Structure 1
Amino acid sequence: MRLANPTIAGFYPDPSVVRVGDDYYLACSTFEYLPGIPVFHSRDLVSWTRVGHVVGRPEQLAVGQVPTGGGAWAPTIRHHDGLFWVAVTDALGRGTLLFTAPDPAGPWSDGAVVEGVDGIDPDLAWDADGTCYLTYSALRLSGDNMGAHDGIEQVRIDPYAAKALEEPRSMWSGTGLMFPEAPHLYQRDGWWYLMIAEGGTERGHAVSIARGRRPDGPFEGAPANPILSARSTSRPVQNTGHGDLVSTPDGEWAMVLLGMRTLGMTRAFSPLGRETFATRVTWVDGWPVAEPVHLTEPAAPVSLTGSGLDGDWIAVRRLPADVADVRAGSLVLRGEGTGMDDPRPVFVGVRQRHHRMRFSAEIDAGAGTGGLSLRYDEAHHYDIEVGDGLVTARGRLSGLTQTWTAPVDTPRVTLWIETAPVAAAGFDALTSDTVRLGYDTPAGPVALATLDGRYLTAETAASFTGRVVGAYAVDGTVAADAVRYEGS
């Protein structure tokens, strides 16, 4: 079995996978972005195609007003009784939710709140008699104990009524490392295996596993725990963890997991956030042995063009169609008097998937003000916009803002954002990459600002998401033509 890494590039964290016959389906977290929880399909665990989203209607997740970092956390996708199931935490929103669909492409149900569960990262597993177990990480998101973490817990549930059938019980919670999370329960050769992540989703991230004869335990930890981690190594993929196991029709096994392609001399920064990777797994003496995660040969450069609002486009706390549409081939955004500092900006974008990237569009701001933005969140973004006879480049970093301006004699300007890893040696190479904000003139391209990319990374922005690049409007009507993403 040959796997490609990254498996799904860009901000696609917390992957979960299920096999149904010869088909594999994978789902990921989306936090405050909509549409939420993309579902991918593959026949070989290498080539993945997005077939839909679990959340395509605003009422399915209460992300409209959630704080940054809230929303759809760590879905688990499973297949049982002719239905696809997704269990997910709508963090600081609706709570623990169950979605169902006969077809993974959707449409999916409205989502039922599971009564009696207070935690995150829910997993679903059924035993031979049809009993359903929901196992989760007991991080309290409500009540007097909000913020407390009580390890891994489990309840039997009625999945159709979305109701716990008993009081939660404590489960095996790892080897003692911080933040046990992402539990998944499997049955193999007469054993039940409880696999979790621990060590935090930073450089100490790891996957550990235990086994027992019953789905509710007791469980004994593997003697070689953790079975996967990149900590204290020089591997280009760090923070590996939050894994989910899947078997192939010919008896092989694989793990999908999250990781980060770190940059900088000390590998301290992750511009793209947490991405989906995969690795082979073998079984030795009844325990899984995971190979380290290695990058595969780089794929060919990618060039995406067009102005359609298909499923690659996402928006912040609302759907792309709520802030933009396509008219005569142009992507049109309707400003609301707010910019990229707003928690609900008029912005639609795509995930940055490559360290070396160029995003460009011909912006017509004759009836408004707007442009392009490279966004981590409302406090961390770099913008290039046109309006009122000026092109303005802007760096916004946690309350600090700096701008650069240049006059233009037309409201229709091609704007662009470029990123590239730092090629310098020595201490100049400590940062991750550079971000150039510019525009085209009849005399050639003009870079209005060159900014340090380390401030738009997971580590600096303290975000669980990743860079998203796209178009926005401040006021009036702004049209984007010749929208193009190029990455390598």
Structure 2
Amino acid sequence: MSTYRNPVLNADWSDPDVIRVGEDFYLTVSTFTKVPGLPILHSRDLVNWTIIGHAVTSGYDDVRPGCGVWAPSLRHHDGRFWIFYGDPDVGICQVSAADPRGPWTAPHVVKPGLGLIDPCPLWDDDGQAYLVHGWAKSRAGINNRLTLHRMAPDASAVLDEGALVIDADLLPGYRTLEGPKLYKRDGTYWIFAPAGGVEQGWQSVFRAESIFGPYEDRIVLEQGGTDVNGPHQGGWVDTPSGEHWFMHFQDRGPYGRVVHLQPMVWKDGWPVMGDDGEPVAEGPVPVPGGAPGEPATSDDFAGPGLGLQWSWQANPDKSWWELRDGTLRLTCVPGPEDLRERAAVLGQRLPGEPCTLTTTLTLDGDGRAGVAVIGFTAASVGLESTPDGTVLVCGEADPVPVDGPVTVGARIGAGALVTFLADTGRGLREIGAPFQATQGRWVGAVLGLFAAGSGTGQAIFDGFTVQKGSQ
């Protein structure tokens, strides 16, 4: 029997939701202001996942940490795939598609307003549609409660002012109830929702005979004696053979919110997750025979487009980049010196295990370019043009004159400690001081490629390789 080990998605795949359509599983996650956003992942066994597309292709024109696409819900209804998500500064939005690979419709606001987050729809047996959501205190002034609306069956709008179905201020010990997922099973309505905060919280479920309640609650997954802190929100899914599973995230600081898979059974009318309510470290693969796979990290830049693992920090301009002859060419565009504030940074998730990343870089003309690790703090290694020629730069280290292509990169060690690397003709060696990667606003650290300047220079990246494991 084949087995898996948690986390099954060992990088920042935040706020996951998962569904099954036939023999295929699909998953999406929050992406905040990354462009493109709402990646669509596909699996045949709930363990091996690949990225097949994105549901949102544009966002903000400037970098706004912590804004944009918050926790989504993914559903399949009436022959279409639907994703509902909250933008806390806009309202509850939805997109849909006949094919999960796209094209997806443009975002449509179902309910406008500040602080409306974590929406989830349900189309009931009688054709009536509903929408449940949480609240962000930073915008709405309230949280720890869930509101339910009747919704138009075509998901065009909510149809009423909404009813408060769960007020967790009235539940002993509860705080920050959020992330609801709405289901119906054998005539009973269920809301799966975490509470207690992402770092130290737990997963609860609520059940009722009427969708408007009253709901009774039970904690069904918490850390217990394990090292999985705050097992948090996710989605319930079944397999073609009728087994039940729950996917959720664990906050790991600079690594972001990694995704775990828990077995789930029904006992005395309630779901029991993991090992009697505690997360499991490993278990049998839910659907045997699935092909191995994981979200891409390396990219040979052979095209025709960028690998689906890449995203920009805000809306990109077509002039920023080009794929040509197996290389990525980034224009050294103007912008903030602080890489955390630059839209023109092409990034991907920091792997949740030790790894080494490398790329061969040529700087053509004026500017600076390289590889960066970006969170609340940022550091980089790369090339910079000077009046005396091109130099290799990394933090406070002395600049090193170079002529031609240079291999640069980083070794990510335990605890996300970064050691930058460069090869100036004597092999790949450490350069500069070690850098402790840090998380960003609701996200893990990002591995980024950048090129900055007046717009006349160009950085040429010949491949990007990520090798997992200690080096």
Fold agreement, TM-score > 0.5? yes
1:318–1:344 CA contact under 8 A, matched in 2: no
Q: TM-score, normalised by structure 1?
A: 0.84
* Alpha-carbon distance between aligned partners in 2 of 1:75 and 1:5, rounded to the nearest angstrom: 22
State which of 426, 430, 433 in structure 2 corresponds to 1:443: 426
- Match runs of 1:281-430 below 5 Å: 281-291=264-274, 292-296=278-282, 304-307=298-301, 308=303, 309-319=306-316, 323-338=320-335, 339-341=337-339, 343-368=341-366, 369-376=368-375, 379-388=376-385, 389-394=390-395, 403-421=396-414
Matched, 1:229 2:222: yes
Deviations 1:83-141 (A, max 9, x none): 1110001233x321011111111110001101356510000111111111110102256
Larger strand proportion of the pair: 1
Q: CA deviation at 1:192?
A: 0.9
Amino acid across the alignment from 1:88: Y
Matched, 1:485 2:463: no
Q: Which residue of 1 aligns with 2:184?
A: 187
* Alpha-carbon distance between aligned partners in 2 of 1:163 and 1:354, rounded to the nearest angstrom: 39
SS of residue matched to 2:229: strand
Q: CA deviation at 1:161?
A: 5.6
Amino acid across the alignment from 1:211: R
SS of residue matched to 1:100: strand
- Cα distance change, pair 406–13 in 1 and its aligned pair in 2 (3 A): same
Q: CA deviation at 1:50?
A: 1.5
Matched, 1:214 2:213: no
Q: CA deviation at 1:366?
A: 2.8
Q: Which residue of 2 aligns with 1:267?
A: none
1:37–1:55 CA contact under 8 A, matched in 2: yes
1:359–1:469 CA contact under 8 A, matched in 2: no
Amino acid across the alignment from 1:418: R
Matched, 1:15 2:16: yes
- Cα distance change, pair 79–72 in 1 and its aligned pair in 2 (3 A): same
State which of 114, 129, 137 in structure 1 corresponds to 2:134: 137
* Alpha-carbon distance between aligned partners in 2 of 1:161 and 1:29, rounded to the nearest angstrom: 20
1:362–1:413 CA contact under 8 A, matched in 2: yes
2:62–2:343 CA contact under 8 A, matched in 1: no
Q: Which residue of 2 aligns with 1:399?
A: none
State the identity %: 28
Q: Which residue of 1 aligns with 2:151?
A: 157
1:320–1:348 CA contact under 8 A, matched in 2: no
- Cα distance change, pair 434–72 in 1 and its aligned pair in 2 (3 A): same
- Cα distance change, pair 433–4 in 1 and its aligned pair in 2 (3 A): closer
Q: Which residue of 1 aligns with 2:175?
A: 178
Computed over aligned residues only, the root mean square deviation of the Cα atoms, in angstroms, reads: 2.4
Q: Which residue of 2 aligns with 1:240?
A: 231
- Cα distance change, pair 9–132 in 1 and its aligned pair in 2 (3 A): same
Q: CA deviation at 1:197?
A: 0.8
Q: Which residue of 2 aligns with 1:252?
A: 243
Matched, 1:473 2:451: yes
Amino acid across the alignment from 1:349: G
Q: CA deviation at 1:346?
A: 2.2
- Cα distance change, pair 375–66 in 1 and its aligned pair in 2 (3 A): closer
Amino acid across the alignment from 2:406: V
* Alpha-carbon distance between aligned partners in 1 of 2:42 and 2:420, rounded to the nearest angstrom: 36
- Cα distance change, pair 116–91 in 1 and its aligned pair in 2 (3 A): closer
2:132–2:149 CA contact under 8 A, matched in 1: yes
- Cα distance change, pair 95–45 in 1 and its aligned pair in 2 (3 A): same
Q: Which residue of 1 aligns with 2:289?
A: none
Deviations 1:194-216 (A, max 9, x none): 111100112x2211011111222
Q: CA deviation at 1:2?
A: 5.1
Q: Which residue of 1 aligns with 2:111?
A: 115
1:374–1:467 CA contact under 8 A, matched in 2: yes
- Cα distance change, pair 20–300 in 1 and its aligned pair in 2 (3 A): closer
1:391–1:407 CA contact under 8 A, matched in 2: yes
Deviations 1:261-304 (A, max 9, x none): x5xxxxxxx3211122211101110000001334449x999983
- Cα distance change, pair 300–128 in 1 and its aligned pair in 2 (3 A): closer
Q: Which residue of 2 aligns with 1:82?
A: 79
Q: Which residue of 2 aligns with 1:424?
A: none
- Cα distance change, pair 306–37 in 1 and its aligned pair in 2 (3 A): same
Q: Which residue of 2 aligns with 1:200?
A: 197
* Alpha-carbon distance between aligned partners in 2 of 1:327 and 1:221, rounded to the nearest angstrom: 57
Deviations 1:45-103 (A, max 9, x none): 122222211012x2xx4x333621111111100011111110001233x3210111111
State which of 93, 100, 107 in structure 2 corresponds to 1:104: 100
1:180–1:199 CA contact under 8 A, matched in 2: yes
1:335–1:346 CA contact under 8 A, matched in 2: no
SS of residue matched to 1:271: helix
SS of residue matched to 1:181: coil
- Cα distance change, pair 294–367 in 1 and its aligned pair in 2 (3 A): farther
2:315–2:343 CA contact under 8 A, matched in 1: no
* Alpha-carbon distance between aligned partners in 1 of 2:207 and 2:18, rounded to the nearest angstrom: 20
Q: Which residue of 2 aligns with 1:434?
A: 417
- Cα distance change, pair 380–90 in 1 and its aligned pair in 2 (3 A): same
Q: CA deviation at 1:315?
A: 1.1
Q: Which residue of 1 aligns with 2:288?
A: none
Amino acid across the alignment from 2:271: P
Equivalent residue pairs, number? 440
1:393–1:438 CA contact under 8 A, matched in 2: no
Q: CA deviation at 1:393?
A: 1.1
Structure 2, unpaired ranges of 5+: 284-291
Q: CA deviation at 1:258?
A: 0.7
* Alpha-carbon distance between aligned partners in 2 of 1:54 and 1:363, rounded to the nearest angstrom: 32
